[in-house]
Amino acid sequence: MWVTEAILGRIFPSKCTACGEIIGKYRGSNALCPNCREKWELNKRARCKICGMEVSDCLCGEGDMYLSGIRDHLKLVFYDGVGGVTGALIYSLKSGRKRSATQFIASECTHRLNEYLSSRDIDPASVLITYPPRTKKEHRSNGGDHSEIVSRAMAESLGCGFIRTLVRRGGVKQRELDFRERKINVENSIFPLDGVSLDGGRVVLVDDVVTSGATMSRAAVLLYRMGAEEVIALSVSRAKSHSTE
């Protein structure tokens, strides 16, 4: 296995997801070069305007997230939708073209969730991980659903359950809409998967980017209807309007 990896590494050397520099493994991952990894770590330390905590410790929700009953919203970084290391990682995650970037994000999310659960004395094996599904069109053009891939990887490393709970029928990309339209769009396109009961479970809802919070809110309302006892949200990033910068 190691030999194969070493040979493959010579034929196809890994390139940093953000700057393209050729790299070896750095801190166990070959997604980012040391420089870009440093920038990523700094991004995680930007402070939230609302609670004053570093973003990677902040639990503030967005929009209707509290109303929908989401207990806490965990996130790794702020992101305003353009460029930088976060932009490159998210683009890579969405397009599904770079496995090391997807693995890196999954392991960062797992780390954050683990930390959070241990702060509340919750056994990681007791939670269920799920995700809000993409539109069929996005699914097709990206060759899969990246939030599903990240959720599955997280469940595997935490030793907890992964469960598909929701379906998407029709609807358009949230990015093309304003906040009010986003809410209507998700209400008309995200539905419960037939026959799933969450039966008092504690569910972690995983997504990439939270902007208006409409997708997470709609998903949480449905998860509670399906019997969840508690819904916790986790996203890779959140709109930058809440950072102190």
Among 31, 33, 77, 221, binds Zn ion (CB under 5 A): 33
Q: Torsions phi, psi of 70, nearest 5?
A: -65, 125
Radius of gyration over every alpha carbon of the chain, rounded to an integer in angstroms: 18
Using the contact rule CB under 5 A, the part of the chain among 8-16, 88-96, 116-124, 203-211 near Zn ion is: 8-16
When asked if residue 67 is in the footprint of Zn ion (CB under 5 A), the reply is no
When asked if residue 128 is in the footprint of Zn ion (CB under 5 A), the reply is no
Q: How far apart are CA 138 and CA 160, in angstroms?
A: 27
When asked if residue 36 is in the footprint of Zn ion (CB under 5 A), the reply is yes
What DSSP string runs through 103-170?
Answer: HHHHHHHHHHHHHHHHHTT--GGGEEEE-PPPPHHHHHHHTS-HHHHHHHHHHHHHT-EE---EEE-S
Shortest Å distance, C-beta 239 to Zn ion? 12
In total, the chain counts a number of residues equal to 245
Q: Torsions phi, psi of 229, nearest 5?
A: -90, -35
When asked if residue 239 is in the footprint of Zn ion (CB under 5 A), the reply is no
120 vs 173, beta carbon nearer Zn ion: 120
When asked if residue 19 is in the footprint of Zn ion (CB under 5 A), the reply is yes
When asked if residue 167 is in the footprint of Zn ion (CB under 5 A), the reply is no
Shortest Å distance, C-beta 50 to Zn ion? 4
Q: Beta-carbon neighbour count of residue 102 at 10 Å?
A: 22
When asked if residue 101 is in the footprint of Zn ion (CB under 5 A), the reply is no
Sites of contact with Zn ion (CB under 5 A):
16, 18-19, 21, 33, 36, 48, 50-51, 58, 60
